[in-house]
């Protein structure tokens, strides 16, 4: 994995953690995620026609990813309703790359170097350790939602990793995902809360639009990276966002970040170094 790809993924990870912090800060996390989906819809609608056309063969991947994102937004809201950012986020983002890597090795025959593979496992171990406080403190509903969402994240990561390669234009593919996924998510929430959903989006439109733009840039960079490096390795480095999420949780949301979490963070950094320098 080149330094350019590695650095780009880290920047995308920071943006991803930032828009998750915006959701966690909102008292109504369901409304916040709906507003973010609406913001992504607008960003995708504006960006897609301005970008080079993608290969039509990628359309089934866009549709598949969009349905994954309905579940993703729903579970994000539930996880943050019952657990802190620095608890739920590491679980969601930490288990996904392990699942992705195993599937990539078994079904996609992607080559990951021995040191990279160890690094991915170390990253996942550090992230899971970072989240243990949540389980011990009784935040089981939040932890359960986060665990389930890790499977969803692994699903759309694989779909989009393959889809972006088929599309030939990762940026355009991302725009269509945001539009389609945002449209379906807003529609789903409108069915659930027909009388309030438009007001929820209206009062949060600045945050939703900013979050949608952050999500667009962060995911476009990640999908581009998946065309340049193994999907599992990209997914692992991208999950460095848990460190940014922990810092944002402590600085902006008043969440604690004690010695045990620092030790887990060091594990994550060590694993990232293995992924960066342990090329296949």
54-70 tens-digit pLDDT? 999 999 999 999 999 99
Compute the distance between CA of residue 112 and CA of residue 100 in angstroms, rounded to an integer. Answer: 12
User: Is 116 or 72 the better-scoring residue by pLDDT?
Assistant: 72
- Enumerate the domain spans of the chain: 3-277
Residues sharing a CB contact under 8 Å with residue 151, sequence separation 6 or more, in sequence order? 95, 96, 99
The candidate with the shortest Cα–Cα distance to 232, out of 90, 116, 146, is 116
| DSSP one-letter code for 280 | -
Tokens for 202, please give them. Answer: 């209206």
Rg (CA), the chain: 18
pLDDT at 204 over 60: yes
pLDDT at 217 over 60: yes
Q: Which of 47-56, 102-111, 171-180, 219-228 has the lowest mean pLDDT?
A: 102-111
Average pLDDT over residues 23-39: 93
158-190 tens-digit pLDDT? 899 889 889 999 889 999 999 999 999 999 999
Write down the pLDDT at residue 280. Answer: 52
Confidence class for position 279, pLDDT limits 50, 70, 90: low
Compute the distance between CA of residue 118 and CA of residue 123 in angstroms, rounded to an integer. Answer: 9
Residue 226 CA, chain-centre distance (Å), reads 14
Name the average pLDDT for the chain: 86
| pTM of the predicted structure, to 2 decimals | 0.83
């Amino acid at each position: 994995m080149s330094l350019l790809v590695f650095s780009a993924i880290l920047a995308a990870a920071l943006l991803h953690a930032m828009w998750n912090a915006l959701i966690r800060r909102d008292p109504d996390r369901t409304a916040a995620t709906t507003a973010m989906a609406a913001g992504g819809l607008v960003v995708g609608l504006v960006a897609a026609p301005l970008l080079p056309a993608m290969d039509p063969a990628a359309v089934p991947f866009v549709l598949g990813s969009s349905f994954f994102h309905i579940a993703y937004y729903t579970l994000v809201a539930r996880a943050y309703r019952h657990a802190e950012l620095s608890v739920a986020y590491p679980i969601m983002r930490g288990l996904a790359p392990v699942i992705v890597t195993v599937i990539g090795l078994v079904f996609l025959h992607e080559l990951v170097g021995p040191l990279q593979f160890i690094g991915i496992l170390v990253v996942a171990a550090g992230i899971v350790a970072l989240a243990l406080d949540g389980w011990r403190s009784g935040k089981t509903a939040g932890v359960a939602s986060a665990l389930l969402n890790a499977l969803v994240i692994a699903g759309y990561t694989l779909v989009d990793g393959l889809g972006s390669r088929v599309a030939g234009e990762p940026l355009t593919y991302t725009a269509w995902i945001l539009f389609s996924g945002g449209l379906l998510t807003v529609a789903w929430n409108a069915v659930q809360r027909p009388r309030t959903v438009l007001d929820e989006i209206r009062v949060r439109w600045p945050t939703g639009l900013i979050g949608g733009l952050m999500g667009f840039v962060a995911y476009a960079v990640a999908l581009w990276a998946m065309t340049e490096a193994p999907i599992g390795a990209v997914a692992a480095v991208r999950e460095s966002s848990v460190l940014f999420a922990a810092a944002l949780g402590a600085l902006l949301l008043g969440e604690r970040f004690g010695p045990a979490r620092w030790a887990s963070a060091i594990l994550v950094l060590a694993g990232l170094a293995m992924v960066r320098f342990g090329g296949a």
